[in-house]
Structures are given as structure tokens and as C-alpha cells.
A and B are shown apart, each in its own frame.
Chain A
């Protein structure tokens, strides 16, 4: 199983709403990532979790709050978003072991629209 599953596939939320994006993998990977992709742009890294600990935060606004409850799950909690936060949010995972060089596997993404 080389799949990263993201739910929901589409999400429309108001600026005062609180919602969460979910990502799941069962490949035993210990590194997980959130990327944001605006229309007609490449993906940009937001967060990296390594062994369930936040390893990298690319200066993301606090209205985005990541959480890694266990090694298979990664959440992204959303609160008080702005319309410019509308984008495709991609989750990815990789093996995450020292000296093990592997690629990142991406999910299909959640298309988020903030109204």
C-alpha cells in the first residue's frame, strides 16, 4: 500500500468557521508534510513532522495549526481563514529514518475554498 489518503476532497468554509483536514498513511512512514498549492503555482512547504514531532514550520500563520496524533495520522486545523487561503492542500509522507533516502508520497489533496 503506497497510498496517502486525504479527507475531505473538497471543503468550503466561512471565515469564522473551524474545520480540520485529515491525512492518513499506512506505509510505516515516520515523516509527514503539509504543502499548500495555489492555482497555477508549485506546492510550497508548510510543516514537517518527524517521529510525531514538529520539525519544520515555514513561518505559517497561526490560523493554521498542525497536529500529529500518531505515526499514521496528520491533521491540519483551520480557524479564521481568509479568502486568500483558498488553495489545494497536499499531504505527503516519507520513510523518515536516518540515512534512509526516499521520496515523498503525496495524497490527492483537499481543495479548500474560503468564503
Chain B
């Protein structure tokens, strides 16, 4: 994708383990947003990190942003079966556009 990619495409772990997903982008961003999509549903906003921030936490979620490497990561600690979903990063441009890729499919086994 010309906007960047999420990596890996698929991730399978056991309950209790941590899950790390990565997101890269190619052009300057205003912010980066992470979303979750359960099967057959719309995207749900999880967390937003601005371009001048390096790390943000929300419950079991931790997001980092490295603007020098044009990359971000989402860490879910102590994963649960209910965390099974696709996770997307939205690259927020300064023109009000939010670009997504294909997401990371996370499967958490009980």
C-alpha cells in the first residue's frame, strides 16, 4: 500500500500472552489511531497518539510512535479470547484524511 502496512498480517497467541502489532507509514502524519474490528462489524476506535507524542496507555493497551522510523506499535498485555479481532492503524493526515491498510488478524486461544 502506498500509505503503509500493518505487520504481521496474522498473529496467533495463547490467553495471557502479550500481543504486539506494528504499523508503518510513508508520509507525514498528524496523528495515528488504532482501531479494532470484530468479525462482521464496524471499526471501533481504541486509542489516538499525536505526532508529538511517543507513548500512550489505555488499560491493557500501550501504543508507541517513532516518527523517525515512521512506525507505531500496539501492545495488548495479558491477552484474552475476547481480544480476538482485526486491528487496524489509521494514519491521520493533516488534511483530515485517515488512511488504513489491511490490518492484523489477532487470534487469542483460550
Do A and B form a real pair?
A: no
A-side interface residues toward B, CB under 8 Å? none
B-side interface residues toward A, CB under 8 Å? none
